Amino acid sequence: MVAAAQKAQTETLTEDDKELIASSWKLIVPIQDTVADLFYRRLFELAPQYRSLFKSDIEAQKRKLMAMLAFVVKSLAWSHTAWQQEVDSREDLFLVVLALGRRHRELYKVPDEAYATVRDALMWTLDYGLGQAFTVETRRAWERIYDLVAMTMKLGQGATDLGTPVKVD
């Protein structure tokens, strides 16, 4: 866990990362339905066993995925001083992602190994959807934010495993 925390610390988002994520997100918004379709198609190609974790109609899940990505991107635009002020818990990225991790473990029974597969599916989707705009630097920025979100989700799921060490890779 110490190694994961040290890695996350060295993988902190830079202002350039935030700009790359925001500018690439602007390209995704007009095609977000297609992006959601591509993501889930790729996820189920990589791990068909995860299909059973979802209801037969995953349209609502697609909307939730895109809303969460939009929320993360929007949160990255907050200034440091904005985060020092009191934040409504529904707007606090950290609290929202912790709760999301807890729900993924407790309600949806998402296994830990799914995080790597979801990462792969997301990076493939962004690469396919953005084409040449998905530069090496843009990919690294998206990988960093995904890794930070995934680590936070794992911390949230760990809150339900009292006495069990949290594995954050």
Region 131-156: what's the mean pLDDT?
A: 91
Supply the pTM of this predicted model.
0.79
CATH of domain 19-76+89-158: 1.10.490.10
Please answer whether residues 3 and 168 qualify as being in contact, where contact means their C-beta atoms are separated by less than 8 angstroms.
no
First to last CA, the chain: 7
Distances 17 to 62, 78, 99, 111, 146 between C-alpha atoms, Å: 25, 14, 25, 29, 12
Candidates 150, 50, 160, 165; CA nearest to 102 is 160
Whether the per-residue pLDDT at 155 is higher than 90: the answer is no
Q: Break the chain down into helix, strand, coil percent, rounded to 5.
A: 75, 0, 25
Whether the per-residue pLDDT at 9 is higher than 50: the answer is no
Report which of residues 34 and 148 the model is more confident about: 34
Share the mean pLDDT of the chain: 81
